[in-house]
Amino acid sequence: MIERRPALGKGLSALIQEPPEPPHQGALDIDIDLLAPNEQQPRMHMDEAGLADLAKSIKANGVLQPILVRRVGGSYRIIAGERRWRAAQRAGFLKVPVVVRDVPEESDQQLLELALVENLQREDLNPVDEALAYQRLAEEFALTQEQIAAAVGKDRSSVANYLRLLKLPEEVRGDLASGAISMGHARALLALPDPAAQRHAAREIIARALSVREAESLVKRLTTPSPPPRLDTARPEGDVHTRAAEDRMRFALGTKVRIVRHGHGGTIHVEFGSESELNRLYERLTDTR
């Protein structure tokens, strides 16, 4: 049985109690066609491959965890468990086990909280969906971060960190939702100054399979200002084109780059911090990967 977090919002704990062992005790077997999705479902991304795997598991073992529903007339609206319901449909099931909860039909906030908390307890949401659910609680129901934290059993700083993920560009949020990068990687990317830099660094992290620590080092290199030029090689005041070229090369190569002009010519300095980084730069510059 999943251990319950102690800090659920008022009324939520009683509504989402896990059914006692065995898993289906207290559950009803309902025609699968009588169930409908929850409009307040916090899960925005349903991975097709994962759904297919779950359908195979359900076909072999059945629906082990009842679906949480509320009664709406002669049918049932899913509070939590839409993924299990869809997988059971794929597996050809005609009935699924459900646990019915008494939730007021007009309580959209409570429905969202219930679905969110149930998924969190099952560790069943990716970070982007979790962040979007928190955003909905804040924007649609005017909840503060402290109120959201109390409702889902987390501290306020954790909720704030999830909400910050929504500042990342859509492409990077997609990488996070799919698992291509982790929450630690995403938090490191937030230190970069603009979406283009974040997208480039995310591609670098994925291509090189960087750890979170390595990603933090990459971001640090990209955000560390270049040392001031020597007096004899100082660039003209306001040489914005040279600085822009340095920035683009720095993000393209993932390391600090310095352009030093000598009359009509000059040199390009590319820094590396290790033998492996030198090899990476060599492959990048010579296209020998």
- Cross-strand bridge partners of residue 267: 260
82 is annotated as an active-site residue: yes
- Catalytic option among 18, 48, 82, 140: 82
Rounded Cα–Cα distance for residues 7 and 150 (Å): 6
Tokens 């683009």 correspond to 248
Rounded Cα–Cα distance for residues 178 and 194 (Å): 22
Query: How do strand 67-72 and strand 95-100 relate by DSSP bridges?
Result: parallel
Dihedral Cα 223, 227, 233, 237, nearest 10 deg:
60
Catalytic residues: 82
